[in-house]
């Protein structure tokens, strides 16, 4: 069994309001993430930053142990609390990630000799969502203490500190089928701005020529932001 955590503690500065409260087809982004995580993991808690009211009563609240650390603050709090060896971290603002992909990933990715697994698209990896072993906690704490909040760097450091692998799980391999660039761009799109959320509401896919660039930009942004 895998621990399930929704990352929902970000400042939402570019959105201008708490994006976890935004409604997509009648459900808040937090509702969507909580339900999806519960289906995949059988359990769920919300990493709510400094504000437990952000859970909207949908799941247990887990507050950051250290503030202003980006996603790493929530991940640290989760690893300090979890009773599971492996833990899934799903960002609240990627509501179009299919449950099919997350379930396949959880089934196949967690193994001995590995500290973390990230999703990879044609060799370019996304630091979130994330599967992380609780043995990474000490290294994550060291990264925070040193002021190194970039998630990609923290994961690489955790692999080195624990002498375990950081696995890249290719999306097409997990699903055992070819997934188009347009479809991937839609799945990994995140709602950081009102314009991006409006595209989600309207069901607008990124233009084909720009899809691969959009996926790469999302991965880069995830390294340092909520």
Q: Give the residue numbers of the binding site.
A: 7-9, 19, 64, 93
Which tokens go with 124?
A: 């370019």
| Structural contact between residues 50 and 63, judged by C-beta atoms closer than 8 angstroms | yes
Binding-site positions for GTP read 7-9, 19, 64, 93
How far apart, in whole angstroms, are the C-alpha atoms of residue 175 and residue 178? 8
Beta bridge partners of 126: 119
Q: Quick one: which of 141, 145, 150, 162 has its CA closest to 219?
A: 150
Distance CA 195, CA 48 (A): 24
Map 44-92 to HEC letters: CEEECCCCHHHHCCCCEEECCCCCCCCHHHHHHHHHHHCCCCEEEEEEC
Quickly tell me which residue has 């709510």 as its tokens.
48
Residue ranges of the annotated binding site for Mg(2+) are 93
């Amino acid at each position: 069994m895998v621990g399930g955590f929704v990352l929902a503690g970000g400042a939402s500065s570019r959105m201008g309001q708490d994006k976890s409260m935004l409604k997509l087809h009648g459900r808040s982004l937090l509702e969507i993430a909580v339900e999806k995580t519960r289906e995949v993991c059988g359990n769920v808690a919300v990493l709510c930053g400094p504000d437990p009211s952000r859970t909207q009563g949908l799941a247990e609240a887990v507050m950051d142990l250290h503030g202003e650390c980006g996603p790493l603050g929530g991940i640290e709090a989760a690893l300090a609390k979890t009773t599971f060896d492996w833990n899934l971290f799903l960002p609240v603002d990627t509501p179009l990630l299919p449950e099919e992909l997350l379930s396949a990933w959880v089934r196949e990715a967690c193994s001995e000799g590995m500290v973390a697994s990230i999703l990879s698209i044609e060799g370019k990896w996304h630091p979130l969502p994330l599967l992380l072993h609780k043995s990474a906690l000490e290294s994550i704490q060291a990264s925070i203490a040193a002021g190194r909040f970039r998630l990609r760097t923290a994961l690489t450091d955790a692999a080195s500190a624990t002498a375990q692998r950081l696995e890249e799980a290719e999306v097409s391999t997990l699903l055992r089928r070819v997934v188009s660039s347009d479809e991937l761009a839609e799945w990994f799109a995140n709602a950081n701005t009102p314009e991006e959320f409006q595209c989600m509401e309207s069901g607008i896919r990124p233009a084909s020529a720009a899809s691969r660039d959009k996926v790469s930009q999302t991965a880069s942004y995830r390294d340092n932001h909520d």
